[in-house]
Structure 1
Amino acid sequence: MNRLEVLSPDGVPEVRAGDDLATLLLGALADDGVGLADGDVVVVTSKVVSKSEGRVRSGDREDAIAAETVRVVARRGPTTIVRTRHGLTMAAAGIDASNVELGSIVLLPEDPDASARALRATLRERTGRNVGVIVTDTAGRAWREGQTDIAVGAAGLLVAEEYAGRTDPHGNPLAVTAPAVADELAGAAELAQGKLAGRPFALVRGRADLVLAPGDDGPGAVALVRAEGGDLFGFGAREAVVRALVGEPADRTPFGAPASAEELADALRLVTGAVVRPADGGLHIEAPGDGAVAVLAFAHGWVVRTSDGSSVAHLLPLGP
């Protein structure tokens, strides 16, 4: 029988800049008669990490989003989804105005993985225990209502299990199965912590197999972030149309790797109704000069190399 246990202590005071999170955690656990054990996973919300690191600001959340944003992914009404400088894709760049004094906002930690490493090292120094650490934040998910907590920082932990190359009990090969266990542990911890109960810490027991050896902090939660261009949804649906029409070179990466000639040819035929055929390492299209060809080429990672301006264009995939 497998057993997973999640403990979240009460009695943690309001965290201020400069507060020692290890002291607060160990004190809260001791009040409940609990101590750390080897193989435990310590889970801490990014909000208290940010508060302790002085990442609280006065002002409006909207004013702070731009400084934390690398690229706007989508906007819908008052909601802005951005890719942050951490590589995370989150609403409002993960900036929060809840559970903080009125008129203040909390930014994400400067480097959540570094924060997790520092807390792990301090807990090891003070208790002698080898634990993993996860820093969490709340995020929405594509195609799903509601939010769940995810790992934005991690140390001493296998953040994803790799099943590729294994077989299931029926003998079926597993090709791409890779459970994001750090995110799963973050979600489990949040069930015990709650949103309004003032319990920013949790202790997860029962997955010591995920905790790495002392001195090995692992790749961190950054390993769970897809590289720019590796996601199928680099822009929202409306934004993708607009960015393809604008055709800024800097926008090429979020559209991903160049599509195959067959995929682009199908799109060209669908939109233009023109004749498309392979030629000279690319595609020749007998098309009207209405600009659609260049837009479709841009969105598919191709470029119009030559054109007579009216009826014939030659397209090639963009090189590395």
Structure 2
Amino acid sequence: MDLEFIPVFIERKEDSFDFPRVIIDAVKGSGDELRDNDVLAVSSKFISMAKGMLIDLNKVEVSEKAERLAEKLRMDQRIAELVIREADAILGGVPGFALALKNGVIAPNAGIDKSNAPAGYAILYSKDPFGDAEVLRKKILQELGKRVGIVVTDSRLMPLRMGTTGIAIAVAGFEPLKDERGHKDLFGNILRVTRRALADQIAAGVQLLMGEADESCPVVIVRAANGAPWSLTDKPMSAADMTVPPDQCIYMRGLPERNFKF
């Protein structure tokens, strides 16, 4: 199996826009074209910008609860307010950051970010990243006649590791996991619990091209030759297809206290 990662460069945008149209036009102008069974990786920030999720911090009204969180974690009160609004749960934190649960993913500040945003603004996650991915998949099928997978990506700090890596926020059109249970390892042992997180593995790979600074590469085509490890599907996808509940997570279950008080 050979994998190819093809960058698609798009100029910076600051206003809301039709992201499927912009992506399709950018792919057409890239000198390459989409093929059946490709996976198209798209930056979550790119979609957030398209959906108008850019927030003017000077217009954020801070609640008393946000003031308490900001005081406890020594963070910007406006960011604290946005975290409270966006997070499914707040698990804890360190100075400057709240550790939050968002769409089944543990994310500092619930994924709210001020990098690659105009000064004085913050970017939130799209309200429905799985829906966004499905819209893009169907638009490509309708306009280009190609069956592809979509993965919406973000960068993330990993526990006890220095630096960021890629993670899948949402998918459409392909199975995000490959079940290896029942297969044998090199020594003939039967695998009992192993499932490969294909969407996260793809997200980590494309991060090499998307970068974190001024690369202007929010889209990457991932192409497999001689057999792709992923399988395309038309079934609707949700967070339940690629996450586990906190009480089944080895890391979350190991935390002594998950009810963060502020």
2:217 & 2:23 partners in 1: Cα distance?
A: 10
SS where residue 247 of structure 2 aligns? coil
Deviations 1:228-265 (A, max 9, x none): 3222333885xx35959x9xxxxxxxxxxxxxxxxxxx
Normalising by structure 1, what TM-score?
0.69
Q: 1:43 corresponds to which residue?
A: 41
Aligned-pair CA distance for 1:205 = 0.3
Q: 1:162 corresponds to which residue?
A: 179
Query: Does 2:33 match 1:29?
Result: no
CA RMSD of aligned residues (A): 2.2
Identity of aligned residues (%): 26
Q: 1:194 corresponds to which residue?
A: 211
Q: Looking at CA atoms only, which structure, 1 or 2, has the larger radius of gyration?
A: 1
Deviations 1:193-218 (A, max 9, x none): 222211111100016451414xx145
SS where residue 226 of structure 1 aligns? coil
Q: 1:232 corresponds to which residue?
A: 250
1:190 & 1:141 partners in 2: Cα distance?
A: 14
| Counterpart selection for 1:101 from 115, 118, 136 | 118
The 5-angstrom pairing of residues 1-320 of structure 1 reads 2-14=1-13, 16-17=15-16, 19-59=17-57, 60-84=78-102, 86-196=103-213, 197-206=215-224, 208-213=228-233, 216-234=234-252, 240=256
Structure 1 gap ranges (5+): 247-320
Residues 243 and 95 of structure 1, relative CA distance in 2, 3 Å threshold: closer
2:229 & 2:250 partners in 1: Cα distance?
A: 32
SS where residue 38 of structure 1 aligns? coil
Residues 58 and 112 of structure 1, relative CA distance in 2, 3 Å threshold: same
Displaced runs of 4 or more, over 4 A: 241-244
Structure 2 gap ranges (5+): 58-77
SS where residue 168 of structure 2 aligns? strand
1:24 & 1:179 partners in 2: Cα distance?
A: 32
2:112 & 2:181 partners in 1: Cα distance?
A: 36
Deviations 1:262-291 (A, max 9, x none): xxxxxxxxxxxxxxxxxxxxxxxxxxxxxx
Residues 116 and 38 of structure 1, relative CA distance in 2, 3 Å threshold: same
- 8 A Cα contact 2:92 2:258, kept in partner: no
Structure number with higher relative contact order (C-alpha < 8 Å, ≥ 6 residues apart): 2
1:39 & 1:92 partners in 2: Cα distance?
A: 35
1:45 alignment partner AA: S
SS where residue 234 of structure 1 aligns? helix
Normalising by structure 2, what TM-score?
0.83
Deviating more after overlay: 178-187 vs 134-143: 134-143
1:29 & 1:158 partners in 2: Cα distance?
A: 23
1:87 & 1:169 partners in 2: Cα distance?
A: 33
- 8 A Cα contact 1:40 1:205, kept in partner: yes
